[in-house]
Amino acid sequence: MTDEQIINKLEEFEIPVGNRRIYENELEDYNYFIFRRGRLIENGCGRYVRQIQIIYAYTGEQKISDYAIINKIKELNLNFVGMDSDDVQIADTNDWIDINTYTFERPERGDKNGI
């Protein structure tokens, strides 16, 4: 499972997808995804698990349901771990951006040489 396959799956929702970040001048509105590679965890015997974070940012009504996002990414055989939500205020306004962060895990192989 590559990062590119995950990003391609998110692009099926037909909204912008950023890799680690997205710049405001690339957006028409606040309705987008950000893909981030998260923690790398050793789960024994030289096996590792990489956490993947899918961040869905939007204003107003949530246009894509949590379940649609979760199920779309689970099609890639990633393990869904959980979802957290938050909101941030847009500077110098009374407007807010809602942020849902979906965490998934995928196995990764460790390099025997540590390189």
Q: Where are the domains of the chain?
A: 3-109
CATH code of 3-109, in short, is 3.30.70.1700
**pLDDT for the residue 71:** 96
Q: The tokens 């205020």 sit on which residue?
A: 89
pLDDT in tens, 13-59: 998 888 766 656 555 677 889 999 999 988 777 789 999 999 999 98
Q: How would residue 69 be classed by pLDDT, with cut points 50, 70 and 90?
A: very high
pTM for this prediction: 0.85
Using CA atoms, how far apart are residues 56 and 64, in angstroms rounded to an integer? Answer: 9
pLDDT in tens, 91-115: 888 888 899 999 999 988 766 555 4
Helices (H), the chain: 3-11, 66-74
